[in-house]
A and B are shown apart, each in its own frame.
Chain A
Amino acid sequence: KAGVTQTPRYLIKTRGQQVTLSCSPISGHRSVSWYQQTPGQGLQFLFEYFSETQRNKGNFPGRFSGRQFSNSRSEMNVSTLELGDSALYLCASSLVAEYNSPLHFGNGTRLTVT
């Protein structure tokens, strides 16, 4: 079974631009979430989606947004990029039906803002 797939793996953008990151969950997984990972803060929760609905949102500014499609694939968007947005963005999927089901992470998209 293929794992969580994130594209692209690397991105370089300049301040003020916007970016869209893509995530394809494991087949059969309907719940998708996004995390930001930085050396100082560790993994920080961004959002959680299930059946195309955002169920939870972390403490990030409104410049960070996301959505989920009917095939469970998800995208996140960051507008008006700032230098501090440079990070590894991780997508995770899980089986909602099992409460102890772990999150399965993709390899992430490394975003560098210059």
Chain B
Amino acid sequence: GQNIDQPTEMTATEGAIVQINCTYQTSGFNGLFWYQQHAGEAPTFLSYNVLDGLEEKGRFSSFLSRSKGYSYLLLKELQMKDSASYLCAVRAASTGFQKLVFGTGTRLLVSP
């Protein structure tokens, strides 16, 4: 089966750093995506990892360990606008190109 786990909710303070974890169990692996979704809006792409290691993109970084089935999204210098849901999604090797398995999302609340 396919299973993606991430915390339901997290809180953090403006200017701080937060790490959102994601563990996965899938039949094969062809990449892991992180998306951000504000309430009532479309999910927007943040990062993609297919090899082990850290990918950095501005204030956002994503890490992958394929052997552990583990990823995290690191958000630095948090801003109020970072309050959103963060979705972890895996493309399993046996599935189609656009078929991603999503976690239920982590709702992040950034307070002043």
Chain A positions within 8 Å of B, measured between CB atoms, are: 3-4, 31-33, 35, 40-45, 48, 50, 55-56, 58, 90, 92, 94, 96, 99-100, 102-108
Contact = CB atoms under 8 A, between A and B. Distances in A.
Contacts of A105: 35, 42-44
A106 B42 contact: yes
A91 B112 CA distance: 34
Contacts of A55: 96-97
- The 10 A-B residue pairs whose C-beta atoms are closest, nearest first, are A56-B96, A33-B98, A42-B104, A102-B45, A43-B102, A105-B42, A48-B98, A48-B96, A107-B42, A105-B43
B97 A90 contact: no
B42 A103 contact: no
Nearest to A91: B42
B75 interface: no
Contacts of A41: 104
Interface of B: 30-31, 33, 35, 41-45, 48, 50, 87, 89, 95-105
Nearest to A93: B98
Contacts of A103: 33, 45, 98, 100
B43 A48 contact: no
Contact of A90 (B30, B42, B103, B104): B42
B100 A45 contact: yes
Contacts of A96: 97
